[in-house]
Chain A
Amino acid sequence: MRFSLLYLLSALATTMGLLLWSPWSVWSPWSVRSPWSVGTRTTYASATNHPGKWSVGTRTTVTGIGAPTERTTVIKSRRTAKIKTRGRATADTITDYYSVETVPTPPGLVAETGGLAFMPDGRLAVCFHRGEVMLYNPKTKQWKLFAEGLHDPLGVIAVSNTELLIVHRPELTRIKDTNNDGVADVYETVIDQFGMSGNYHEYAFGPVRDRQGNLYISLNAASNGAGIRDEVRGTYDPLGRPGRMYACVPYRGWVLKQTPAGQVIPYALGFRSPNGIGFDGAGRLFVTDNQGDWLGTSKLYHVEPGKFYGHPSSLVWKKDFPDIDPLTLPAQTLDSMRTKEVVAFPHQRMAHSPTQIVPDLTRGKFGPFGGQLFIGEMDFSRLLRVMFDTVGGQLQGACIPFFDKAGLKIGNNRMAFAPDGSLWLGMTDHGWVGDRGLQVVRYKGGTPLDVTAMHLTATGFDLTFTQPLDDATARSLTNYACRRYYYKYHREYGSPETDKQPVAITAARLSPDRRTVSLTVDKLVPGYMYEFTLGDLRAGNGTKKVANRLVCYTLNRLR
């Protein structure tokens, strides 16, 4: 039944000349099977993953529906060489290692999730779009109302079992239950030293806290999809009003920091829609920003004080910035002022709209990716995983999907690791593409075959895997394809992949422990994305199949 359905779909897709599935998954039973078998949501949304970027010819040998033994698929990308893959029905799937479960939410709740955080006692604090803050006890599976009346809350820190820090449109608020009746009775304003024009897009994100106890929030710019109110909070600056996304009141497009003493410091600027803010295990602050004007594609920034990250309107609130509309500066000038992203997420290919950032500090409870950043994604049934590389003392690195099309809902706006190492996901749609509700991803054990590190070398890239690779597949050059392109930094919305070129891979060497493949590539040029597509790499004598085949490295500087 499963395969006949699959066959039908594929035949249909081929006939219509449309490829709906990711090319690599067309004939791989595991990656297609999961959306049907998990059943929480069919992942049609993932069909837009590679629209028109690939043409596919399929040559299949099917000995009987429902009993496929071996198939060969030849996949041609426009720019890359032919890659031959061999699929076997015996291979593993990511759902062998991770499970996903939908958590029921209370009847009557519109579960547009704005924030998730675990309290010390293991209860989950969740805030929702309509202002409710509810506590979920995973042991008893009971929901309880803790606070209400917030204005579009979009992030939470659990300070204790009775105290939360929640950011919503007007402020960062400390919400406390001081009389121990289980319901909050104190709502203290913590940070409201920023403006509000009343424009809908002026969301506030965060909060996150560093080891010294400083708090950070990030502030969305306004959108010319709507105007502003007659009355605004804060100083109005008409120089910040032009543009597609704008900052006509203070600190829109900024990250603000508050010291434990209560001082609010404008910390960094140049953000457009910084819906993700978070620290990694080393205490470095990161922000995700969303593709749009001045962002050719979505990005991950390493945020350091005083730096400007590229979206211009927020410059009007920089102390020493002249009294001009920043959009009157040439793009070249702005380009020279900005700090580039450490990782870009190729639009459509990898992400549409990255969200929260959480580091895996579970010490193995969530599988083999300890220390790495997981990032949510709104429009695709997947999360993103980031692998850093330090070159010349500076961060850059690669991104790769996680749990791609394996049963996650879309709209993964918020994430939190539970004390038991499970990863809780909160969905929202909020007027955009997305979904609602709460899901939890649990690591079941075992080691999927996946890329766990990617490092630039003088001649190419080292890809390190979670376990030793099967020799034959790893050494075969046909199992690696690479192309490069860049995204424009300009006022227009988004950017095409620019100066697209295939990159020839001239050698693939396997390390003695068989875990690292050193690829020599034809040419390394800074300022480009290097996008790798892996073939049918295997481990465990063919029983383990590489879980994710797309991995993209942001090459800012050469080693």
Chain B
Amino acid sequence: MRYEFMHLILSRLRASLLLLLPLGISPVLAQQKVDTTITLKSIAGLQYDQPRLVLKPKTRLRLVLENYDDMAHNLVVTRPNARVRVVDAALRMGAEGASRHYVPDMPEVLAHTREVEPGRADTLLLTVDEGAFPYVCTYPGHGYVMYGILYGTRDPKRLPPPEADPYLPKRGSTADHAGHHQPSGHPYEVTLPAVYRTFMPDCGPAAIAVGMPGLAGGPVQSYCFDAGICQLRYAWSGGFVDNADQWDGKGQKLTKLVGDIYYVASSPGRASTAGLTVSTATKPGSAPAPSPAGLVFPLRIGNKPAGHSPVVQFRGYRLINRYPEFQYVVDGVTVRELIKPLPGGRGLVRQFSIDSAKQPVTFLADEQPGLAYRATRAGKTAALRNGQLLLPAGTRQFTIFMTVQ
């Protein structure tokens, strides 16, 4: 029996003894490692009494939330690295939120309780997968400090010690995870900005992870760029990556991102922009294949009809003060894209340079709730209309500011 499992049993026993609550599972049953019940308490100071749970993958878990605080809470289990995204979405629910227990309708939510009034309890059920799953109270404002992490792992020894765990709330400091010192795994410290070409989750296999320092008091920010389709896939804040699993052995496992995702490029079904899809030329001389990601490509060169699939080719990058400036070809036109963190907050500044200025260029904003777009051209504000920035022929450079509101 693994120690973390013991720990869970003990914590459950302690809960049952102290609270005299009938839990319906005997220690013998619990030892069968099939089902387990964990009782979390929400306590004063916007916190759960246990901020870290460690379980074996495939455990069928019953999670009970008992509210010992004097205000209402809930408990939402999210996809890895999706806590802040879910919290932000809950905040945007506004007046509608209360009637829906402040649980936004989005795929990042894996399981949730209802609103739990003081002195009450509610239960959720889920099967634990391998990975790190945040649990969080999505009541407005709570989620930035009131959260914990549920690990599904067969190798708990590889978890960071709680004091260095980037997924645990930091009491008495900001919720930024960047200050922790973890061994780099290299013969040097990793200096941000930094680039890793690696296998990233929710991206094509030719992924590039870029970590960037926080600017003007903003958090450390990172993003994932897909070299296969020449496109920004998602961005997160509060950390960079953990390569331990990917580096281990033969290289099948994915790099884990550290921090909270705040932007994910939308597929057409979810995006408000009109339908362009991306193709990559892979077989010399053959027809381009549709993008497996099915994403809207953000640039349109010339007056192409709607539904045109740009052919893209990745050309690499150069480092400018360690920031990669990607170069790729879109329908024969070379484009360079330099992505930097938005100073002072969460968001990205994307500077596009167009080598040939013979044709107009359209930037198609991937508009999403909670995300604001702004653009400049030649130092002046350029207007986005209906999520599109129309750039006349002759445009050599423009900048897109993506700001999390």
Residues from chain B with Cβ under 8 Å of A173 in the complex:
316
Q: A108-B187, A198-B205, A431-B250 are in contact. Are A233 and B282 (CB under 8 A)?
A: yes
When chains A and B are docked, how far (Å) is the Cα of A234 from the Cα of B288? 9
User: Which one of A149, A173, A266 has the greatest number of beta carbons of chain B within 10 Å?
Assistant: A149
When chains A and B are docked, how far (Å) is the Cα of A149 from the Cα of B208? 9
Residues from chain B with Cβ under 8 Å of A184 in the complex:
319
B289 closest partner in A (C-beta): A235
Contact for A198 among B185, B199, B286, B316, CB less than 8 A:
B199
Which of A94-102, A188-196, A415-423 forms contacts with chain B? A188-196
A141 to chain B minimum Cβ distance, whole angstroms, is 15
A195 closest partner in B (C-beta): B282
Contact for A192 among B227, B283, B292, CB less than 8 A:
B227
B199 to chain A minimum Cβ distance, whole angstroms, is 6
B287 to chain A minimum Cβ distance, whole angstroms, is 9
How many A-B residue pairs have C-beta atoms within 8 angstroms? Tell me: 142
0/1 per residue, B313-325, Cβ < 8 Å to A? 0111111000010
B350 to chain A minimum Cβ distance, whole angstroms, is 19
When chains A and B are docked, how far (Å) is the Cα of A460 from the Cα of B247? 50
User: Which one of B184, B206, B292 has the greatest number of beta carbons of chain A within 10 Å?
Assistant: B206
Contact for A233 among B183, B205, B316, B324, CB less than 8 A:
B205
- A229 interface hit (Cβ, 8 Å): yes
Query: Would B187 and A109 count as touching, CB distance under 8 A?
Result: yes
Which of B15-23, B188-196, B339-347 forms contacts with chain A? B188-196
B248 closest partner in A (C-beta): A431
Which of A40-48, A125-133, A546-554 forms contacts with chain B? A125-133
- A462 interface hit (Cβ, 8 Å): no
Query: Would B282 and A235 count as touching, CB distance under 8 A?
Result: yes
Residues from chain A with Cβ under 8 Å of B324 in the complex:
187
Q: A192-B314, A235-B283, A430-B250 are in contact. Are A108 and B196 (CB under 8 A)?
A: no
Query: Would A189 and B316 count as touching, CB distance under 8 A?
Result: yes
Residues from chain B with Cβ under 8 Å of A67 in the complex:
none
When chains A and B are docked, how far (Å) is the Cα of A229 from the Cα of B206? 11
Q: A109-B187, A130-B243, A226-B252 are in contact. Are A193 and B282 (CB under 8 A)?
A: yes
When chains A and B are docked, how far (Å) is the Cα of A145 from the Cα of B292? 36
Contact for A131 among B197, B248, B292, B314, CB less than 8 A:
B197
Residues from chain B with Cβ under 8 Å of A105 in the complex:
187
Residues from chain B with Cβ under 8 Å of A193 in the complex:
281-284
- B186 interface hit (Cβ, 8 Å): yes
Residues from chain B with Cβ under 8 Å of A209 in the complex:
none
B292 closest partner in A (C-beta): A231
Contact for A232 among B195, B205, B319, CB less than 8 A:
B205
Residues from chain B with Cβ under 8 Å of A232 in the complex:
204-205, 292
Query: Would B318 and A187 count as touching, CB distance under 8 A?
Result: yes
Residues from chain A with Cβ under 8 Å of B205 in the complex:
169-170, 196-198, 229, 231-233
When chains A and B are docked, how far (Å) is the Cα of A87 from the Cα of B228? 62
Query: Would A148 and B249 count as touching, CB distance under 8 A?
Result: no
- A168 interface hit (Cβ, 8 Å): yes
Contact for B251 among A149, A152, A187, A231, CB less than 8 A:
A152
How many residues on chain B are close to A (CB under 8 Å)? 41
When chains A and B are docked, how far (Å) is the Cα of A150 from the Cα of B208? 9
A235 to chain B minimum Cβ distance, whole angstroms, is 4
Contact for A201 among B184, B250, B280, CB less than 8 A:
B250
- A493 interface hit (Cβ, 8 Å): no
B207 to chain A minimum Cβ distance, whole angstroms, is 8
Query: Would A185 and B204 count as touching, CB distance under 8 A?
Result: no
Residues from chain B with Cβ under 8 Å of A194 in the complex:
282
Residues from chain A with Cβ under 8 Å of B187 in the complex:
105-109, 132, 134, 143, 145
B130 to chain A minimum Cβ distance, whole angstroms, is 14
Query: Would B203 and A231 count as touching, CB distance under 8 A?
Result: yes
Residues from chain A with Cβ under 8 Å of B199 in the complex:
151, 198, 229
| A513-545 with Cβ < 8 A to chain B | none
- A171 interface hit (Cβ, 8 Å): yes
B255 to chain A minimum Cβ distance, whole angstroms, is 10
0/1 per residue, A157-200, Cβ < 8 Å to B? 00000000000111101100010000011111100111111111
Q: A186-B316, A187-B318 are in contact. Are A234 and B289 (CB under 8 A)?
A: yes
Query: Would B252 and A200 count as touching, CB distance under 8 A?
Result: yes
When chains A and B are docked, how far (Å) is the Cα of A110 from the Cα of B204? 27
Residues from chain A with Cβ under 8 Å of B243 in the complex:
130
When chains A and B are docked, how far (Å) is the Cα of A128 from the Cα of B253? 18
A108 closest partner in B (C-beta): B187
Residues from chain B with Cβ under 8 Å of A198 in the complex:
199, 205
| B233-287 with Cβ < 8 A to chain A | 243, 247-252, 280-284, 286
Contact for A170 among B185, B206, B252, B319, CB less than 8 A:
B206
Q: A149-B196, A151-B198, A233-B204 are in contact. Are A250 and B283 (CB under 8 A)?
A: yes
Q: A132-B187, A189-B315, A431-B249 are in contact. Are A148 and B195 (CB under 8 A)?
A: yes
Query: Would B316 and A149 count as touching, CB distance under 8 A?
Result: no
Residues from chain A with Cβ under 8 Å of B251 in the complex:
152, 169, 200, 430-431
Residues from chain A with Cβ under 8 Å of B249 in the complex:
430-431
When chains A and B are docked, how far (Å) is the Cα of A539 from the Cα of B248? 49
When chains A and B are docked, how far (Å) is the Cα of A351 from the Cα of B319? 43
Residues from chain B with Cβ under 8 Å of A6 in the complex:
none
Residues from chain A with Cβ under 8 Å of B203 in the complex:
231
B42 to chain A minimum Cβ distance, whole angstroms, is 36
Residues from chain B with Cβ under 8 Å of A170 in the complex:
197, 205-206, 227-228
Residues from chain A with Cβ under 8 Å of B188 in the complex:
108, 145
0/1 per residue, A319-354, Cβ < 8 Å to B? 000000000000000000000000000000000000
0/1 per residue, A417-435, Cβ < 8 Å to B? 0000000000000111000
B217 to chain A minimum Cβ distance, whole angstroms, is 27
B229 closest partner in A (C-beta): A233
Contact for A148 among B194, B247, B248, B284, CB less than 8 A:
B194
Query: Would B197 and A150 count as touching, CB distance under 8 A?
Result: yes
Residues from chain A with Cβ under 8 Å of B317 in the complex:
186-187
A322 to chain B minimum Cβ distance, whole angstroms, is 16
- B293 interface hit (Cβ, 8 Å): yes
Residues from chain B with Cβ under 8 Å of A132 in the complex:
186-187
- A264 interface hit (Cβ, 8 Å): yes
- A317 interface hit (Cβ, 8 Å): yes
- List 17 A-B pairs, Cβ < 8 Å: A131-B198, A134-B187, A145-B188, A149-B197, A169-B205, A171-B314, A186-B318, A187-B318, A187-B324, A193-B281, A193-B282, A193-B284, A196-B206, A231-B205, A233-B205, A234-B282, A250-B282
6 residue pairs, one from A and one from B, having the closest CB atoms: A431-B249, A200-B252, A234-B282, A431-B250, A108-B187, A151-B197
Point out residues on B near A: beta carbons under 8 Å.
183-188, 194-199, 203-206, 227-228, 243, 247-252, 280-284, 286, 289, 292-293, 314-319, 324
Point out residues on A near B: beta carbons under 8 Å.
105-110, 129-132, 134, 143, 145, 148-152, 168-171, 173-174, 178, 184-189, 192-201, 225-226, 229-236, 249-250, 263-266, 317, 430-432
14 further A-B pairs in the complex, CB-CB below 8 A; given A230-B292, A235-B286: A108-B184, A129-B247, A170-B205, A185-B318, A186-B316, A186-B319, A187-B318, A187-B319, A187-B324, A193-B282, A196-B204, A198-B205, A233-B206, A233-B292
